[in-house]
Structure 1
Amino acid sequence: MPRLSPPVPETEPRPAVFLDRDGVLNVDAGFAHRPDQIVWVVGAPAAVARLNAAGFRVFVVTNQSGIARGLYDTDAVESLHRWMGEALLRQGARVDDWRYCPFHPDHQAERFADKASWRKPAPGMLLDLMAAWPVDRAGSFMIGDRQSDMDAAAAAGIDGYLFEAGDLDAFTAAILRARPRTRAQE
C-alpha cells in the first residue's frame, strides 16, 4: 500500500517543552540524586506523554548545585536521569534530552566556570538544546516551579509557565488548550 505522505524526518524543526526537574517532574526533596529519592509529581508521566502525543520535543533542564557542593557527582546525576527516562518510557512517556548545570557561584565556582551560563536564570541549557536539536522556538515553552525558570525561558525567547503545585498533566493540558498549534504539530 503506498504511503499518503512521507514520514517527517527528525531534522524537521518541532516545538519543544523545557521542563524543570525538581518541583515539576518529581517532588523537590532537596538534592535528589538517587532513584529512591524520586517521588513523581502527580500527573508527571501523563504530562510528558501528552506533550509527546502533541508533537513536542521534551527536554529537562535542571540546576544541580549538589555537584559543586560535593554532595554527589555527575555520574550520580546522569545515572538518575537514565533511570527517570526509563521509568517514564515504561509509562509511555519520553524525554528527548536532558541538561543539568553543576555550577554554583558559592561552591567550587572555578571548577565549573564553563557552565556558569547554564545556571538558571541564565538560558544556557535551553540554548544548548536549541542548538543541538531542530527546535521551532516560536511554538516552544518552559514549565518550571521557580522564578529563575521563568527568567531562563524569557532569556531564551520562549514563554514560561509557573507550576506551583497540583496535577502536572492537568496544568499541561490547560496550557496546550490555550496555545495555538504550530505547523509542525499539524
Structure 2
Amino acid sequence: MMERKHKAIFLDRDGVINKEVNYLHRIEDFTFTHNCIIAIKMLREAGYKILIVTNQAGIGRGYYTEADLNKLMHWLKIELQKNGADLDDYAFCPHHPTDAIGKYKRHCKCRKPEPGMLLSLIEKHGVDVANSIMVGDKFSDLEAAQAAGIQKHILVKTGHEFDENNVPSQWHIFESLHSFALHLTKEK
C-alpha cells in the first residue's frame, strides 16, 4: 500500500469547473466558471493535487460514449496546462441504477453519493484524506467525500441551486471555486 502523504483537492466537474450543461460532452459546449483556471492554479501552487470526480450518466443513457468523455477531459487537461493549472487525474462513473442501458444500468459503488471514485483516486495517488478537500455543487458530491473519509467539504454556488438553510453546519459555502481558492490561500 502506498504511503498517504499527498493532500488533494477533489473537484466535481459540472457546476464547479465548467458551467452546468446537461450531459456535457462536446468541447464547443464547455465554458469555464468565472476564474476557475486561476483558482486551480492557486490550489496547485498551494501544494494540492487536483483530482476530478464526475458522475457521467449520459454515457449510461447512450447520449455519448466513454471515448467522447475522454476526448473532452484530454482537452480540459491541455487547456489547464496552457495556463499553468495542471490536473493530476480524474475518475468518472457512467452508471445509473434505473435510467441507463446495457452494462451501464446498475447500482454501483462509484456513482456519487457513493465514495468509489474518490476511494480509487485516494489509493492511486496516496492521498492524505485528513488534509484534503472536496469541492462540489451538490449534496451528493460532499456526501461521497464524507463516506470516503475526506474531512473538509466545500459547496459552491456556481452549479445546482440549493437551500442554504439545509446545508449541514460542517460544510462551508463559497460563491465559486475561485472565491474558495482565495480564502484557502489567504489562510496559509
Shift, 1:136, TM fit = 1.3
2:39 paired residue among 35, 39, 47? 47
Please say if residues 10 and 134 of structure 2, whose CA atoms lie closer than 8 Å, have aligned partners that are also in contact. Answer: yes
Shift, 1:177, TM fit = 4.0
Does residue 57 of the first structure (1) align with residue 43 of the second (2)?
no
1:89 corresponds in structure 2 to 81
Does residue 164 of the first structure (1) align with residue 157 of the second (2)?
yes
* Residue identity in the other structure for 1:121: P
Please say if residues 97 and 107 of structure 2, whose CA atoms lie closer than 8 Å, have aligned partners that are also in contact. Answer: no
Cα distance in 1 for residues equivalent to 2:144 and 2:107: 14
Cα distance in 1 for residues equivalent to 2:127 and 2:44: 14
Q: Deviations over 1:120-154 (max 9, x none)?
A: 00011000001111111110010000000010111
Does residue 155 of the first structure (1) align with residue 158 of the second (2)?
no
Q: Deviations over 1:26-50 (max 9, x none)?
A: 0011111011010000011111101
Would the alpha carbon gap of residues 56 and 114 (structure 1) be closer, same or farther in structure 2, given more than 3 Å must change?
farther
Does residue 174 of the first structure (1) align with residue 183 of the second (2)?
yes
Please say if residues 35 and 83 of structure 1, whose CA atoms lie closer than 8 Å, have aligned partners that are also in contact. Answer: yes
* Residue identity in the other structure for 2:85: A
1:1-186 aligned within 5 A: 13-108=5-100, 111-112=103-104, 116-158=108-150, 159-165=152-158, 166-178=175-187
Cα distance in 1 for residues equivalent to 2:100 and 2:44: 37
Shift, 1:115, TM fit = 7.5
Shift, 1:110, TM fit = 6.0
Say which SS state the counterpart of residue 162 (structure 1) adopts.
strand
Q: Which has the larger radius of gyration?
A: 1
Please say if residues 60 and 105 of structure 2, whose CA atoms lie closer than 8 Å, have aligned partners that are also in contact. Answer: no
Please say if residues 17 and 33 of structure 2, whose CA atoms lie closer than 8 Å, have aligned partners that are also in contact. Answer: yes
Shift, 1:53, TM fit = 0.3
Would the alpha carbon gap of residues 48 and 143 (structure 1) be closer, same or farther in structure 2, given more than 3 Å must change?
same
Shift, 1:167, TM fit = 4.1
Q: Deviations over 1:93-114 (max 9, x none)?
A: 0110010100111133661368
Say which SS state the counterpart of residue 108 (structure 1) adopts.
coil
Cα distance in 2 for residues equivalent to 1:144 and 1:175: 16
Please say if residues 39 and 181 of structure 2, whose CA atoms lie closer than 8 Å, have aligned partners that are also in contact. Answer: yes
More displaced 10-residue stretch of structure 1: 68-77 or 167-176? 167-176
Structure 2 unaligned residues grouped into runs of 5+ = 159-174
Cα distance in 2 for residues equivalent to 1:168 and 1:131: 25
* Residue identity in the other structure for 1:173: L
